[in-house]
């Protein structure tokens, strides 16, 4: 049951020869979610072997160019390779005009529907609720509307201890009820206690995406206990004043957020082109939160299954 994150680009506003703008892929049980779509996104998707046609949902944090300029080429290519299934784009209301322009000028031959689901709100809001996964949006603090996203597995069904199945002649009905977390009362009056017959196979995993944002106190509460956190670090602390002016975060800000939210692991990205050596970000963040890595393009970060 794969749960992994791969960045396609970790540059901020200006791309460099070694860094593409923001675009990332989250894989949950073979389901692909594209998060932001900066320039060159489709090239990076091909470079790292992701199928365009397996992407059903795209999540846009905000409508600054370095997060959306890749959408034109990506949707056009999806059309050319025969996409027919609907594509759902979760994005702020400001994305509506951009999508309308794209479809007006380039969408004449599309054989698929592009559905814009408007993301909004001053508090976390559930935007996807499936059998095994839920996705929440939450507001960030940036110039204009900007949102982060939290992907969270639901609690799995319990497993029944195999040795107790035959020993107690459990029926299929009884096994099903026990897996649902219920006690079973037999006709004889015997009670099969769920706590004695079952165990939780693994703890639900989660991933949070905190794109462009100034630090703010409640952010850590939105993502409390997240397994894997991606947090932007446009600047190091040497340019802390510039970070505040532009409503971005430093490496220290990201690390403090990870620490305060009890995150399992921190990934940092969205680096300013002012920095050629990214170790300054890593060293600064690790002084506060040790389990931190750079979201290097093409590197897959797997969230492992953990048993209770």
Count Cα neighbours of 206 within 13 Å in the Cβ-side half-sphere.
Answer: 24
> How are beta strands 300-302 and 3-9 bridged, if at all?
antiparallel
The alpha carbon of 16 is separated from its chain's Cα centroid by a whole number of angstroms, namely 24
- Beta strand 265-269 with 292-294: parallel, antiparallel or unpaired? parallel
* Local structure of residue 158 (DSSP, 8 states): P
Closest CA relative to residue 112, chosen from 84, 88, 80:
84
For residue 209, which of 199, 200, 198, 219 has the smallest C-alpha distance? 219
DSSP, residue by residue, 244-277: HHHT--BHHHHHHHHHHTT-SEEEEE-B-TT-S-
- Tokens 């489709």 correspond to 42
CB–CB of 268/250 below 8 Å? no
DSSP-assigned states of every residue in 195-237? HHHEE---PPPEEEEE-S----TTHHHHTTT-SEEEEE--B-G
Residue reference for tokens 């005009």: 97
Phi and psi angles of residue 266, each rounded to the nearest 5 degrees, phi first = -115, 130
Known catalytic residues?
Answer: 66
């Amino acid at each position: 049951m794969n749960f992994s994150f791969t960045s396609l680009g970790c540059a901020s506003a200006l791309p460099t020869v070694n860094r593409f703008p923001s675009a990332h892929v989250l894989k949950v049980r073979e389901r692909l979610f594209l998060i932001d779509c900066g320039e060159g996104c489709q090239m990076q998707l091909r470079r790292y072997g992701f199928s365009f046609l397996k992407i059903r949902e795209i999540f846009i944090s905000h409508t600054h160019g370095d997060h959306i300029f890749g959408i034109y080429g990506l949707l056009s290519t999806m059309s050319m390779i025969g996409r027919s299934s609907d594509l759902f784009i979760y994005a702020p209301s400001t994305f509506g005009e951009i999508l309308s322009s794209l479809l007006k000028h380039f969408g004449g031959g599309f054989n698929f529907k592009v559905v814009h689901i408007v993301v909004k709100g001053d508090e976390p809001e559930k935007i996807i609720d499936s059998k095994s996964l839920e996705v929440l949006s939450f507001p960030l603090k940036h110039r204009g509307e900007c949102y982060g996203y939290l992907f969270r597995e639901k609690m799995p069904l319990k497993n029944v201890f195999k040795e107790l199945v035959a020993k107690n002649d459990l029926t299929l009905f009884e096994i099903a009820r026990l897996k649902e977390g219920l006690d079973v009362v037999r006709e004889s009056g015997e009670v099969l206690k769920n706590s004695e017959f079952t165990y939780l196979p693994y703890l639900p995993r989660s991933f949070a995406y905190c794109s462009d944002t100034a630090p703010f106190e409640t952010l850590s509460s939105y993502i409390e206990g997240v397994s894997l956190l991606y947090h932007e670090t446009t600047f190091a602390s040497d340019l802390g004043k510039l970070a505040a002016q532009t409503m971005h975060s430093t490496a220290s800000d990201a690390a403090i957020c990870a620490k305060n939210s009890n995150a399992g692991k921190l990934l940092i990205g969205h680096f300013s082109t002012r920095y050629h050596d990214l170790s300054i970000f890593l060293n600064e963040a690790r002084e506060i939160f040790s389990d931190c890595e750079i979201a290097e393009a093409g590197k897959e970060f797997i969230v492992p299954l953990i048993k209770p």
